[in-house]
Amino acid sequence: MTLTRDLRNPRFWRGFVIHGLAALGALAAALSLIDIFAPGSLGKWDMPEILLVPAGALVYAAWRSWPYPVEQHYTTPDTKVRLVTGDLFKEDTNLVIGMADTFDIETPNIIAKDSVQGQFLERVYQNDLPALRADLDAALADKPVVGTVTKAGNTNRYKLGTVATIRHLRKHYFCLAYTTLNEHNKASSSIGILWEALERLWDEVRVRSNGEAVSIPVIGLGQSGMSTVLPIQDAIRFLILSFMFASRRDRVCEELVIVVRPQDEKRIDMLEIQEFLRSLRKSS
């Protein structure tokens, strides 16, 4: 369970001890002032009343350290970042779909059926490949082709960072090219490419989303080849930083929801992510 996992986290207990000692010190100082201005009043306390002091400190420490939903609202800019565990396609928001620079969608030979792209085809388009291809082609109509590759599937390459925005069933789907496919349909990318691609994504979201919330999976994992240099904890911070930098330049949208797959949750220190989000509020 998420709660027991967080309670086993040393970060929780470190915060608990720090807040508890701080509260105990503040209560002790307050009692000292009372004793100065009302001598003898504390001498009337018996054991149950005395125990209220450490009990109050413990309650305060638990309140300050208790695992809360991983989210943070910022006033500059007026936006919110939230980290949730669940199903990307059940989020009632606009969605980001990571793709390759050839915008291949065919499963299972080129695109894995259990990938975000594969789920996009299956669950949003009910495996209607021609319909999704038509919508993607329409979204890419004004995007320049920058090269070709000899391989199975699509052969035209688009600039990395290209966003094909599809409006389907009252949602925007921001299809972001952040990996490149070689002649064997093997995907690759880099941190620099991902950062530039995200910058272009936020520009597109800013223009097309009308300020509405957008949900995004933890991109940079899976078949992109970056999991060894950008593990999931760092990938989440990377996404958050990119979004916040773009938002400080010009507000992107009202909320960014980062959706973690249930099988990946155990690899994430949620309390550390919450502290990271809180630190960005202090510097904003």
Please report the pLDDT score of residue 63 as a whole number.
65
CA distance 111 to 181: 11
pLDDT per residue of the chain (284 residues) written in tens, 0 to 9:
455 666 666 656 676 677 677 777 787 777 677 667 767 666 666 656 667 767 777 776 666 666 668 999 999 889 999 999 999 999 999 999 999 999 999 999 899 999 999 999 999 999 999 999 999 999 999 999 999 999 999 999 999 999 999 999 889 999 999 999 999 999 889 999 999 999 999 999 999 999 999 999 998 776 666 766 788 999 999 999 999 999 999 999 999 999 999 999 888 888 899 989 999 986 55
Please report the pLDDT score of residue 194 as a whole number.
94
First to last CA, the chain: 33
Please report the pLDDT score of residue 225 as a whole number.
63
Please report the pLDDT score of residue 128 as a whole number.
96
CA distance 105 to 53: 63
pTM score of the predicted model: 0.80
Please report the pLDDT score of residue 281 as a whole number.
84
CA distance 9 to 238: 22
CA distance 82 to 52: 37
Please report the pLDDT score of residue 1 as a whole number.
46
Contact 280, 244 (CB under 8 A): yes
Residue 157's region, left for phi above 0, alpha for psi from -120 to 50, else beta, is beta
CA distance 253 to 219: 19
